[in-house]
Structure formats: structure tokens, C-alpha cells
A and B are shown apart, each in its own frame.
Chain A
């Protein structure tokens, strides 16, 4: 049996960077039992503009938007299995963790955190794989 592949549009188009910034990516793609999300940066869901702030504020905005995107496809943060977190400086690792753990209080997903250079002045981007 061949698994199906389906592009997912966010319920709120304001948080779709592929449209806003004309990027060659889909916000999310469903493949079989899983949904794969592109890395998300902090975007204000009301305006679609970049929501620059502290590591804590950007992490909170991203995970809020990620939860909404997952729920729009019938999934949720509780169904996430793997997360990659990209942060601009590993010195801010604990500032990211402090907010992150609020969103995954029990049986959190497997996760990898990397210190990288990010585009657009953001401090953090987060991507995930979830059960659809």
C-alpha cells in the first residue's frame, strides 16, 4: 500500500510564511500516520508580521502557533513525537527550556537543540513531527 502525501494549509493564513514571504515550502505536509511541520519562527497570528522578542517570548509565540496549526489538522502538541529546536545561541538554552517545558508537561517529545545562525532577526525556530 502506498502512503498518501497531502499538503496542509494552516487554519490562519497569517501564520503561513510560505505565502507571506513567498518561500518554496509548505507549512506542513501529512504523510501516512504522521504530519511534518516546517520550522516555525515567531509570527504574530493577528498581523502575520515577525514577532521579535526575548527567547522566552519567541518560544512561547512559536509553540502557541504550532499548537494551533496542529489542532487545525486534528492533531495537537500532545501528539508530537520529535522536535528540532534551532536557537541563535546556546547561552539561551535554559531560557528556551523554561518556556518549552510549559507546553510539554508530561511525556515530552524526543528533541534535538542546535545553536545556529537564523534568518530574519529571529532568536529561535522550531520544527516537529507529530502523529496526524
Chain B
């Protein structure tokens, strides 16, 4: 294939949520390619302290999805555009 869609890295606007960079892990927070955005697995990181927000599962899910929304908004998308 010569005419591939462009592939670019997505970073969260809030650097405290940039787990892969802060912990020097070998993945990107997200990859954008054409009309699609691929996000790495995310956990309940506190956007103020950057530490894991350990708590009841409901709280962890809420925090993770908030962080996911932040990632998508950082890429110019939104949680209503998720398909998987």
C-alpha cells in the first residue's frame, strides 16, 4: 500500500494523565489514523495528582471513563463518538 492513511500520536492535554510518558512505558496514549482513534488501556488515575485513584469499582470506572473522555477531547473527539 502506498496511499496509507496518516498515523499520528495523541497525547492527553493534562500531562498528569499521560501514564505512558510519566512511567516511560513503550506505548502511546492514543493513535489517530484517518477517521479513527485508538486508545491504550486506561486506569483510574487522579487528574490532579497523577496517582492511581484506588477505591470502590464504581469510583474507578467513573474516573477511568472521565479520563477516557479527556483523551478523546484532547484528540478533538468526544465520548458520544465511541463505537467499541
- Assess the A110–B7 pair: CB atoms within 8 A: no
Q: Is the CB of B33 within 8 A of A131?
A: yes
Max chain B Cβ within 10 angstroms of own Cβ: one of A81, A97, A110, A132: A110
Is B26 within 8 A of A100, CB to CB? yes
What is the total number of residues of chain A having a CB less than 8 Å from a CB of chain B?
A: 22
A63 to chain B, nearest CB (A): 11
Contact with A along B18-59 (1 / 0, CB 8 A): 000000011111110110101111000000000000000000
- Nearest CB of A to B39, in Å: 6
Residues of chain B within 8 A (CB-CB) of A110 are: 27-31, 38-40
Q: Contact between B38 and A81 (Cβ–Cβ < 8 Å)?
A: yes
**Interface residues of B, dominant DSSP:** loop
Are A112 and B25 in contact, with the CB atoms below 8 A? Answer: no
Residues of A within 8 A of B34 (CB): 33
Q: How far is the CB of B72 from chain A (nearest CB, A)?
A: 12
Q: Chain A residues near B33 (CB, 8 Å)?
A: 33, 81, 131
Partner of B31 from the list A109, A112, A113, A132 (CB cut-off 8 Å) is: A109
DSSP class of A's interface residues: helix, strand, loop or mixed? mixed
Taken together as a complex, chains A and B put the C-alpha atoms of A107 and B34 apart, in Å, by 16
Task: Tell me if B7 and A108 are in contact (CB < 8 A).
Answer: no
Considering the complex, which residues of chain A in the window 115-132 have a beta carbon less than 8 Å from any beta carbon of chain B? 129, 131-132
Instruction: List residues of chain B with CB within 8 A of the CB of A74.
Output: 1
Which residues in B have some Cβ–Cβ distance to A below 8 Å?
1, 4-5, 7, 9, 25-31, 33-34, 36, 38-41
13 A-B pairs with C-beta separation under 8 A: A33-B33, A33-B34, A75-B1, A81-B7, A81-B33, A81-B36, A82-B31, A83-B27, A104-B27, A107-B7, A109-B38, A110-B38, A112-B41
